[in-house]
Each structure stands twice: as C-alpha cells, then as structure tokens.
Chains A and B, each alone.
Chain A
Amino acid sequence: MSQPYRIPGRGLINRDRSVSFTFDGREIPGYEGDTIASALLANGEIMVGRSFKYHRPRGIVGAGGDDPAAMVQIGSDPASTDPNVMVTTREIHAGLEARSQNCWPSLKHDVGVLNDVFMRFFPAGFYYKTFMGSDRFRWLNWMTFEPFIRRAAGLGKSPTKPDPDSYESVNRHCDVLVIGAGPAGLAAAANAARSGARVILVEETDRLGGSLNATDPDGTTIGGKAPADWIADQTAKLAEHPEVTVLTQTTAFGYYAMNFVGLIERVKDHLPEHRRDRRQPRQRVWRVRAKQVVLATGAIERPLVFNENDRPGIMLAGAVRTFLNRYGVLAGKRVLIFTNNDSAWQTAFDIRAAGGEVAGIVDLRRELNEAMALRALKAGIAVYPRTAIVGTHGRHRIDSAFVSSLDDNGNVRGSRSRIECDLIAVSGGWNPNVALFAQSRGKLKWDEELASFRPGLSWQQERSAGACNGTLELQEVLAEGSKAGLEAARAADFTVRAIRQPEVRTDAVETLNLVPVWQVPSGLPREKTKAFVDLQDDVKASDLQLATEEGYDSVEHTKRYTTQGMGTDQGKISNVNAFGIMAEARGITVPEVGTTTFRQPYRPVTIGALGGQHVGAHFMPRRGTPMHAWHLEQKAIFEPVGDWLRARAYPKPGESFHDAVQREAKAARTTAGILDATTLGKIDIRGKDARTFLNRVYTNAWSKLAPGRCRYGLMLGEDGMVSDDGVTACIADDHFHMTTTTGGAASVLQKLEDYLQTEWPDLDVWLTTVTEQWAVAAVCGPKAEEIVASVVEGIDLDPEEFPFMTWQDGTVGGIPVRVFRVSFTGETSYEINIPATYGRWLWEELIAAGKPHGLTPYGTEAMHLLRAEKGFIIVGQETDGTVTPGDLRMDWAVAKKKGDFIGKRSLSRSDTVRDDRKQLVGLLTVDGDHVPMEGAQIIGTPEEPAPPVPMLGHVTSAYFSPNLGRSIAMAMVKRGGQRMGETVWIARLGDKPVPAKIVHYDFLGDAVGEAA
C-alpha cells in the first residue's frame, strides 16, 4: 500500500524496514519506528474507537501519552490480550494485532450509538438520578441496572485466563533521577553525569529528544548542530559515564514519599515475538530511591472546547507537528488551524514547509503578532482573526468546519461560513506537565501568561526544568535543564563545574501571547451545544455547568458527578479546561477553583508488573519444618498456621480426612501418637532479673519455679485480654526457655523486647529467638515412654522419675536433645527438641522405633481435637481479644499476691469484673452424634424466638471425639460458670435449635460422666 499520508523525507522512522500489523483484521503497512497511531494516520485512518458513554466516534487527538481516547485492544489470546492500549504509545511490530474497542458489531456500525441519539436525556448524574433516586424505579434497585449499564459503557476486555507473561520489580538507588529526556532532561542528565553521580534518565518513548524530535529539522540548530545530531551527541556523552543508566520505553508512574519513584519499563511489548528474550520479563517495575529528582516532563497541549469538537480529524496542533516531523505523516490533506495562541501557527508553517495544504488559521484573538501574520501571508495561508469554529461536519472524519466571527464581548457575530478541511489542528495553550510534581506534594501556582498551573513550592528534593516548569523557549529550556542537573548533583554531594551552553538558533515560533477562552461560543443554546471537555468520559461543558448549578460546585464534587478526568487518561489534556469552565460557571478565578488531586499512577500500570516476580510458586515462602519433606512424602493434608504450612492430617489411601483425624486422635490415647511441634515459638531468656520479667509478662508467679521445672502461663494485653499462652521452662535461675503459640512467635518476641527496652530498661534480661534452632517431635500416649526410651539416652523416662512439667537433657545417637514432659493432649507426653538439622533424622528414628507399638503420626486437626477433649484452650479459637482469664475460668492461672503484670489493672475494671460476662464452658449435645457448628449462636429457648433473638453466647470449638464416642464442644456462654448442668439450645440456620447441656470443659475428667 502507498501510505498516502506519508511525507517523503520527513520523520525519524526507518523507511528501509517496512513493518505491517493488523487493525480490525485489515493489514496496515508502516515502518519501523511507527506507533500504531502514526501508521494508521499514514494510511488515512484516524478513527480508532468509540467513546465510553455515547459511543461517539473517537479519533487520534494526541501524539503521545497525552492522547485521551484512542485506545485499542491488543491481541486476541484470552490470556495475554491487552486492553486500553493507547495507539499513540505502542510501537508497531510484525504480528501485532490491534482491535477497536467499545463498539459492536464493528467500529463504523455500532449499536451503542443509540446512546448518542438520546444524548440530551443522559446528562451528568443521569444514571444515579434515574436508578437510585427516582420514585418511578423504586421497585428496582441500582444493583439490577448496574450490570447492564456497565456492559454498555465499557472499555476494552480484560483477559479471562491467567497472565502467561512474567514480570519483575527491581530496586535502585541513585543520586540524580531525571524524568523525561527532552532537551531539558538531556541537558540535566548530561550535566549531572559529569559529576560522577549515579544518574538514571527515564524516557517514556522509544527515543531520546522529546520535543526536539517534533521540530522541523531544518528550522533549528543547537550549538550549530541539527537537533538530531545534538541529541546523538548527548546520548554518546551519557554512554561514556559508567554510572549513568538510560531507560527508554519507561514511564515514571508514581512519585511517593522520600523521593521514592516508581518506573514501569515496557521491556518486550514493542518487539515482535521472535525478538522477545524469554529470560526477560514483559515489563519491569523499577523502584527508585533518588537523592535528587529532576522533573523534565514537558508540557501537554490542551485543546479548545468548541461545539462538535470531538469528531475524528480534530487533533492537537502540536500532535500534528509531531506526526509530521517525527513520524513523517501529515494527518490531513487540508488542515485548518484553530487557536488562541501563537504556538499553533508553527504547525501551519511546518505543514507548508512540508508541502501540505493549510485551509487557514482561525484565531480567537484580535491582536496578532505582526511578524507571524506576515510569515503566514508569505506562505499563502489565510488568516481569520477574532474568529471561532462554531461547528463541524463529518461522521467518521470531519469534512468541514463552520466558522463565525466574534464581537467585542466574545459572542458569535453574523453568519456561519463553511471551510472544507479533513483535519483541524487545535491549540488552547500548553499545560506544564505537573503530575509528578503534584504527586510529590509540591504546591502548584497559577501562571497568568500560560493560563495554567506550574510548579510552585517544592516539598521533596526535586526541581522542575523546561516546559514542565512553564519555560517554552529552547535556549531557556536548555539553560534550565543544565542548571537543574548541576544543582541536583551538587545537592547530592558531588562537585561539578558549569560549562558553556550551546547557542540555539531557531525560526520556530516560541512566543505564546495566549488569550484564554475556556469555552468557545457556538451561538447555539446550551442544550444544543456538543462541546466536549473530556473525550474519553464524554463530559461536555454543559455537564460541568449543570453540576455546578445542582450544587456540586467543589472541584472534587464536580469531577465525581460528571466523571471529568476519571478515565484511563486521568484528564491529561482536559482537566485545566474543565477547571476554567467551572470557574466561569461559578464566577471565580481558576486558581480559586483549584485542581483535583494528582494521584499515582500517572499512566495505567499492569497489575502483573506491580506484583513483579512474587507470583505463582514465588508468591509466599512455604515455611516448612525440617520434617516437612516427610509429611509431603506421606501425602499429608496441610493447612496454613501463622505463615507455616503444617500437616493437618495423614489420610491413608482411600481414607477420608474425617476418618483420618478420628483414627489419629484415637491412636494418640490408646497406643501412641507423634506430632511435629517444631513451629511453636521459642524464646531464650537470660539475665538475673529473668524471674521478675516473667512475673510481669505472665499472669502467674514465677519466683519459685525451680531449675528443671516447667510452668504454663497466660499472657495478657494491657487491656487484660488473653493474648498468648505457652509453657516456659526454668533452665537455670537466670535462664528460661519460653514457648509461644505458632502464630504469636514473632509478635510476642517483639512485644517483650519492646517492654524491656522502653518500660523496664532497669531489668537485666536478654531475649533471643530460638524458634528454628530446634526441631520438635512430641510423642504421647500409653506407649510413648517405651518408644522414646528406645531412642533417647541418658534420661530415665519413667513418669515417676521424670514427672509431668519437668525437662531433662539427654542424647539421641550422641546428639544432645532436650526433652520436655509437657502435654497438650492430657496423655503422658515427651516433647523432644533436637537441633533442627537433625530433625528429619530424629523423626524417622522415632517413626521406626514406634512402628511395633502402633505409633501414629497425627496432624494439627487431631491435635485440636485431643486438646479439646482435655479442655485446653487455643488462643485465637476460644479467645478473640475480648476474653479475660476469668472468662476462661482460668483464675487459677492468675496470681493474686505477686506484683504487677501486664494487664493486671484492667482485670479490676467494672467491665471485666461484672458477673454476667461470657465464660468458657463445655457443651454436650443431647444427641451425642450431632456436632454443632463452630461459631453457632447459643440461645435459652427450645424454639428460636422472633428477632431480636437474645443471645447467650457462641460455640468456639466442636468435634466428634473418638475417645468419648460422642460430640464435644466448647462455648462462651453468658454466666457460663454458674450454669453447670443447665440446658441451652444451639441455633441453626433453617433448622430447629439443638439442645445441649453445660458441663465443665475437661471432657476427660468428670464432665461426660456427670452429664450422663
């Protein structure tokens, strides 16, 4: 194909390499270096999609990251398809498949366009007013309508399958981060680099140079060189410095606290399949901590808001220039310029210089720059001063514009005349791109000459240079960039001397002389004017005015009521216009209106890239004990406990989980069971004040615990509520070994260290975690002694000689072990601690030794069942942060006479001493086969009364006990301790309450017999 809009000899594309891709199934030819947008325009395609709400045709408006609505869907694979890709930022490559989105059945015949026909009836807030507020629809609700509305108003389609691509995030520190590689950014980076500082230069597009790439190459020299040569020089100089990193295809998407900046690098998106390195991620997030930041993010042109300004073929004047000079594409055959400032005139001159036709310059201003007008005259360009475009014509691309002259008050005067054109190049002025500056918490200030906001007071270590700082003359831009680079390097403690600035010679228009016109008059009533502000979200000037009239006049309210700036483009080109229109509607100034908040991300970032490499198998550490591989080999069922994976049960082939748990729990009481108890938190406590310390952190007394003995303790928060529990052993008078719950290990250590350092610095105590130093195998049951005896040496294991709640040192195969006679099951139990690297070996020795005795490994589920049979609590199951020791009826664990301990005072608060608190009890259902649901509510009547139902409490644990042959449950019940023997009822959803008797919770004690 001929690419009829391509201009010979212009542009930085590589004409030696033809590249074609498909758009809606049609093959589109282009060249290497083209974006989808420039290739489409080269072939005369300007319409790429339809708008969000009214499904109006949408074309290409910008030439880079500023474009508001020209988005496509890339690829059709349900896993890797990429929605909402801006055609102006994606480079083409062979095999690229692009599709228009938000239209059905096709781009040019779209059913949703009916919304457009009824546009008058869909003003701002329409959906909410109609479906949420209206009496007429009260019988329906928003939830009914939402899916339909969402389907009609959509963007691209999300992938439906897991993302096959990989992503990565990396961390970097640097001295100077320069964002934007236009003239200011290049100058800044080059000057900072000379200091030897670590410099990172970030460029959003595929080439350095920024706005220089969009200038007429024959019109400007820098230090006597053509812009392209100057850029090449700077690039070469940067490459000489080993500490400089240049990232192209990379967007700084977020500026966070303490000069932390997020960058997203598109590593492979622009490459054809065969050039994609499989070892590289698709995209990479760089998390950069910079000592100093230079913002050189340029300026974004804003359009003019005029009637019928949203048709394809209406483009920003600067974008027309960029497509011409950077991509060698003149997007129209007959271009009409519409402006309120000088800069758009350059577009006319560039078009003429390239041999294109200019239909005229329609300028809203009365006073025009004489030299410029003369230049236009010489170029044979018609100029229409004090004139406005009041309407346009053309369905899928404009074919003409209607203009009217304006009177002294800026109102339409006289008749409309028609100018034929297929492209309107519009400029309403330039907005410094202050998004990152504002994200950094910098304060914006209003600039009257620009009629826009620019950086004011900095909050972080950054400086703005060039167009983003409101500076538009190239000589000044370079000077500002150089200065920013030098100052940034010096502020980062580097020494560097300034060098002479290259001289700029240019015939480009660098003046602005802007006269702001926020809404161009159309001469039509408001409801007949289709003057769009936000092209992606279909927000019209009239919507903003209506919102103001209806009271949504704060800028943030107007935004939400109209959805102004809420699209994927975040209102880059439209927000300042919107603020201007709001200001006029309210009769105040734009700075008085203020801006909406600039939030991260500056551009949409793939969620996968934020997740980085921490996905799939790398999502979380799978914390396992030294015996983990053994559990895996046994095909155990696992469960997460804290951040560990623990074996929950070991079903035999064909055995159900429930049956396995019953078998394991039965074996632990009738023969022997073995549990991997490695995950319990362990803290080594050392110091002459260790006993005092324990007295203060536990509720019971520790002064007299002799070496060799162990004691159970409850730990409270300052609020008096149980926060952890465990057994602590006395190793020596000044040395203790504390155990905590698995999940509490880290938080308990942190809390204790915190108290030692901040509350009790007078105590001579040291703490060190030893959780993972020890592997722990707990053997319990009638045969436990015999089994352990065949493995452990140096200890008389006879429970008479080695009583409950003591510990002894021994050896296994010569390896020192520490054996604790503690029990979480109520059975005779030996917890063998061995250095972790021997854990797997010890475990297998015990399994082998236990085989003749029926030793059965049991998991955490059987452990829970066994402890419930004995009436032992689990912190976090029986307790929920609102439970005192008294509520657990464990007053025996609270010492009355010792000194203070954490939470003591709270135990005498009126609320903690009232006698109607919920207390822990056992529950035996009348039907012993019925296992209540954990969490079920307990009521005092056989039938559930009408709501509100008086609640007595709830079930905390419930199991079928194989050892008792019936169900058991623990529950928190109001005044439970005083209700022994009473019957309560356990409520069920959609079923009759179940009667149960309140008993003591030691089911192995008398509870079951007494209840019978």
Chain B
Amino acid sequence: MNATVTAPVRRSPLAHRSAMSAPDDLLHLSERAFDAKIVLRGLPEVLAPAIEKVTGLAMPEATRSTANDAHRLLWQSPDEFLLLGPVDGEPELMTALTAELDGRHVQIVNVTDYHTTLVLSGPKARETLMTLSTLDLHPRGFTVDQVAGTTFGHALGWLVQTGDDAAEGGPVFEVLVRWSHADYLFCELTHGARAFGMPEARPVSGELMEI
C-alpha cells in the first residue's frame, strides 16, 4: 500500500470565522476548537476514583462542574459527565480512563470532534445569552461553574460559566455546541449583541435548492 496523502489538515467548525468583539470590551466571542472531550457514563461513585486519579478532579454536584488548570468536568445527568481536557489530550485520557475503569459498568466515549466550544465573555455576555436562552442567566440565577444543557434559539448546547463576574473581563461563559450548529449559534450570538455594537456575522448560506 502506498499512501500518497498530504499532511492532515484539521478544521474546526468555525475555521471560517474570526473572533469578534463589541466596542469597549463589552463582549468578546470566539471559538476554542479541539479541546479534548470525553463522555463518561456510569454511576458517580464508580467513576469518581478513576477521574480523580487521571485528572485530579472531584465529581461535580448536579448542574455544576469542577475544574483545574487542565480539565473541567461537567455534570450532564445523574449518570453522565463530560470531561474537557487539553487539545490533543483525548487519546491519553481515553487510554488512562479505560485502564482505570476496566471491567466496570461504564461507557467512555471520545466526542472531541462532536462539539466545539464558543467562548463568550464581557459585561454584556449574560444579556446576549438571554436573547437565545430561556434560562435564568442573571448573576443570582447562574453562577461560576454552573452547567446547563439547553437550547439557544434552535441549537442545542451545553452552557458553563467559567469566569467570575467580578474578575477582569467580566463573566466568561462557554457554550459547547454541535459541529453542525456552530455557525448558526455563532451568528445568532453576534445578532443578539447588535445593540452593544457587535458587528454582525451572517450565517453561511447560498445552497441552491431549486432543480
């Protein structure tokens, strides 16, 4: 066999977009591509020792996440967790977790390419998200490390607050969104932030539908 392929090119769902900002640092929106993402299904008490050993993270309470410098663990349901890790970290994480949990009733699935991460930060981040989500996103209603799976307009996503409101740069939110919904959501967020001076990104379109 003579493979004659060129060097692999990895493209994120929003490779065609660049980071966008509203004036006066009111809002910043960007994609953080290629984070390692692993779904872990199993009872928390079964998963906990392995996760702690591999990542150093404790299991999160319902609707919360735990995090350290390299990893974040999101609660998704009573027996479902999403582990985020460094770029290109998924093979090692898969191997280590699989070894630790060998023979246990768990599922470990690499979903690194399933989602991408939108990072939304700044004092107007909450109001921008409120144009698309029905959740209570007031600082009293949604706090650092909180997690919610919800719809943003017509797109499903996982929302997690990673940066405090009081910290410089305002609150930071991350939205994990499917590959195929990423462009839609990116553009909807810029659209929702027009009032803050955000330039508008128009969704990719132009598909011919007529025969």
In the complex, whether B154 has a CB less than 8 A from a CB of chain A is: yes
Say yes or no: A793 contacts B207, CB within 8 Å.
no
Cα distance A637–B155 in the bound complex, in angstroms: 24
Residues of A contacting B99 with CB < 8 Å?
A: none
Say yes or no: B11 contacts A171, CB within 8 Å.
no
For B174-197 the 0/1 string (1 means CB < 8 A from A) is 000011110111011001101101
Residues of B contacting A626 with CB < 8 Å?
A: 11, 13, 179
In the complex, whether B4 has a CB less than 8 A from a CB of chain A is: yes
In the complex, whether B167 has a CB less than 8 A from a CB of chain A is: no
Give residues 766-794 of A contacting B (CB, 8 Å): 766-774, 789-793
For B129-150 the 0/1 string (1 means CB < 8 A from A) is 0110111111011000000000
In the complex, whether B68 has a CB less than 8 A from a CB of chain A is: no
Residues of A contacting B66 with CB < 8 Å?
A: none
Given that A688-B105, A766-B41, A840-B11 are known contacts, is A623 also in contact with B181, CB under 8 Å in the complex? yes
In the complex, whether A287 has a CB less than 8 A from a CB of chain B is: yes
Closest-CB distance, B173 to chain A (whole angstroms) = 15
Residues of B contacting A688 with CB < 8 Å?
A: 105
Cα distance A849–B5 in the bound complex, in angstroms: 8
Cα distance A691–B180 in the bound complex, in angstroms: 31
Cα distance A198–B141 in the bound complex, in angstroms: 11
Closest-CB distance, B23 to chain A (whole angstroms) = 11
Cα distance A198–B204 in the bound complex, in angstroms: 39
Say yes or no: B155 contacts A845, CB within 8 Å.
no
How many B residues, CB 8 Å from partner?
69
Q: Which of B133, B180, B192 contacts A613 (CB 8 A)?
A: B192
Cα distance A625–B5 in the bound complex, in angstroms: 22
Cα distance A18–B9 in the bound complex, in angstroms: 66
Closest-CB distance, A465 to chain B (whole angstroms) = 25
In the complex, whether A622 has a CB less than 8 A from a CB of chain B is: yes
Cα distance A290–B203 in the bound complex, in angstroms: 34
The chain B residue sitting closest to A621, CB to CB, is B184
In the complex, whether B12 has a CB less than 8 A from a CB of chain A is: yes
Given that A617-B203, A812-B3 are known contacts, is A837 also in contact with B188, CB under 8 Å in the complex? no
Task: Give the segment of B53-61, B106-114, B158-166 that binds chain A.
Answer: B106-114
Say yes or no: A837 contacts B180, CB within 8 Å.
no
Residues of A contacting B192 with CB < 8 Å?
A: 168, 613
Say yes or no: B9 contacts A841, CB within 8 Å.
yes
Residues of A contacting B197 with CB < 8 Å?
A: 279
Q: Which of B10, B39, B191 contacts A838 (CB 8 A)?
A: B10
For B5-36 the 0/1 string (1 means CB < 8 A from A) is 11111111100100000000000000001100
Say yes or no: B114 contacts A621, CB within 8 Å.
no
Q: Which of B114, B138, B187, B207 contacts A773 (CB 8 A)?
A: B114
Say yes or no: B195 contacts A279, CB within 8 Å.
yes
Give residues 629-643 of A contacting B (CB, 8 Å): 629, 632, 635-639
Closest-CB distance, A489 to chain B (whole angstroms) = 14
Cα distance A170–B127 in the bound complex, in angstroms: 8
Residues of A contacting B207 with CB < 8 Å?
A: 622, 632, 636, 638, 645
In the complex, whether A491 has a CB less than 8 A from a CB of chain B is: no
For A295-321 the 0/1 string (1 means CB < 8 A from B) is 000000000000000000000000000
Residues of A contacting B113 with CB < 8 Å?
A: 772-774, 835-837
Closest-CB distance, A481 to chain B (whole angstroms) = 25
Closest-CB distance, A128 to chain B (whole angstroms) = 42
Residues of A contacting B41 with CB < 8 Å?
A: 686, 766-768
For A192-203 the 0/1 string (1 means CB < 8 A from B) is 000000100000
Say yes or no: A618 contacts B153, CB within 8 Å.
yes
Say yes or no: A790 contacts B2, CB within 8 Å.
yes
Say yes or no: B180 contacts A617, CB within 8 Å.
no
Say yes or no: A625 contacts B180, CB within 8 Å.
yes
Residues of A contacting B111 with CB < 8 Å?
A: 768, 770, 773
Say yes or no: A171 contacts B109, CB within 8 Å.
no
Closest-CB distance, B83 to chain A (whole angstroms) = 13
Residues of B contacting A837 with CB < 8 Å?
A: 10-13, 33-34, 113
Give residues 602-625 of A contacting B (CB, 8 Å): 613-614, 617-618, 620-625
Cα distance A289–B137 in the bound complex, in angstroms: 12
Given that A168-B192, A287-B134, A624-B180 are known contacts, is A790 also in contact with B4, CB under 8 Å in the complex? yes
Say yes or no: A173 contacts B131, CB within 8 Å.
no
Residues of A contacting B154 with CB < 8 Å?
A: 614, 620-621
Say yes or no: B208 contacts A637, CB within 8 Å.
yes
Judged by DSSP, the binding face of A is mixed
How many A residues, CB 8 Å from partner?
66
Closest-CB distance, B123 to chain A (whole angstroms) = 13
The chain B residue sitting closest to A815, CB to CB, is B8
The chain B residue sitting closest to A636, CB to CB, is B208
Given that A289-B134, A613-B192 are known contacts, is A622 also in contact with B184, CB under 8 Å in the complex? yes
Cα distance A59–B83 in the bound complex, in angstroms: 67
Cα distance A169–B192 in the bound complex, in angstroms: 9
In the complex, whether A754 has a CB less than 8 A from a CB of chain B is: no
Given that A770-B111, A772-B113, A837-B10 are known contacts, is A622 also in contact with B183, CB under 8 Å in the complex? yes
Q: Which of A198, A620, A767, A791 contacts B138 (CB 8 A)?
A: A198
Cα distance A618–B79 in the bound complex, in angstroms: 34
In the complex, whether A446 has a CB less than 8 A from a CB of chain B is: no
Cα distance A280–B196 in the bound complex, in angstroms: 9
In the complex, whether B42 has a CB less than 8 A from a CB of chain A is: yes
Given that A613-B131, A622-B203, A789-B1 are known contacts, is A773 also in contact with B208, CB under 8 Å in the complex? no
The chain A residue sitting closest to B206, CB to CB, is A632
Q: Which of A171, A287, A657 contacts B211 (CB 8 A)?
A: A657
Q: Which of B3, B135, B178, B203 contacts A792 (CB 8 A)?
A: B3
Give residues 142-185 of A contacting B (CB, 8 Å): 168-173
Give residues 83-132 of B contacting A (CB, 8 Å): 105-107, 109-115, 127, 130-131
Residues of A contacting B203 with CB < 8 Å?
A: 617-618, 622
Q: Which of B5, B79, B205 contacts A813 (CB 8 A)?
A: B5
Say yes or no: B107 contacts A768, CB within 8 Å.
yes
Residues of B contacting A636 with CB < 8 Å?
A: 207-208
Residues of B contacting A625 with CB < 8 Å?
A: 180
Residues of B contacting A623 with CB < 8 Å?
A: 180-181, 184
Closest-CB distance, A975 to chain B (whole angstroms) = 36
The chain B residue sitting closest to A198, CB to CB, is B138
In the complex, whether A814 has a CB less than 8 A from a CB of chain B is: yes
Residues of A contacting B185 with CB < 8 Å?
A: 621
Residues of A contacting B204 with CB < 8 Å?
A: 622, 624, 628-629, 632
Say yes or no: B194 contacts A279, CB within 8 Å.
yes
Cα distance A688–B133 in the bound complex, in angstroms: 39
Cα distance A815–B41 in the bound complex, in angstroms: 26
Residues of B contacting A841 with CB < 8 Å?
A: 6, 8-11
Say yes or no: A684 contacts B131, CB within 8 Å.
no
Say yes or no: B179 contacts A813, CB within 8 Å.
no
Cα distance A684–B39 in the bound complex, in angstroms: 11
Say yes or no: A773 contacts B191, CB within 8 Å.
no
The chain B residue sitting closest to A811, CB to CB, is B3
Closest-CB distance, A244 to chain B (whole angstroms) = 13
Interface centre among B4, B202, B208 (most CB of A within 10 A): B208
Say yes or no: A629 contacts B180, CB within 8 Å.
no
Closest-CB distance, A754 to chain B (whole angstroms) = 13
The chain B residue sitting closest to A656, CB to CB, is B211
Residues of B contacting A230 with CB < 8 Å?
A: none
Say yes or no: B133 contacts A812, CB within 8 Å.
no
Say yes or no: B39 contacts A173, CB within 8 Å.
no
Say yes or no: B187 contacts A617, CB within 8 Å.
yes
Residues of B contacting A628 with CB < 8 Å?
A: 204
Say yes or no: B202 contacts A617, CB within 8 Å.
yes
Given that A637-B208, A837-B12 are known contacts, is A173 also in contact with B110, CB under 8 Å in the complex? no
Residues of B contacting A618 with CB < 8 Å?
A: 153, 184, 187-188, 191, 203
Cα distance A792–B109 in the bound complex, in angstroms: 24
Closest-CB distance, B155 to chain A (whole angstroms) = 6
List 5 A–B pairs whose Cβ atoms lie within 8 Å, in order of A's numbering: A617-B187, A617-B202, A632-B206, A838-B9, A841-B10
Q: A289-B136, A684-B109, A813-B5 are in contact. List 6 more A-B contacts (CB 8 A).
A: A624-B183, A637-B211, A766-B106, A769-B114, A813-B3, A838-B10
For the complex of A and B, the 10 pairs showing the least CB-CB separation, nearest first, are A766-B107, A621-B184, A173-B136, A836-B113, A686-B107, A623-B180, A638-B207, A766-B41, A835-B113, A841-B9
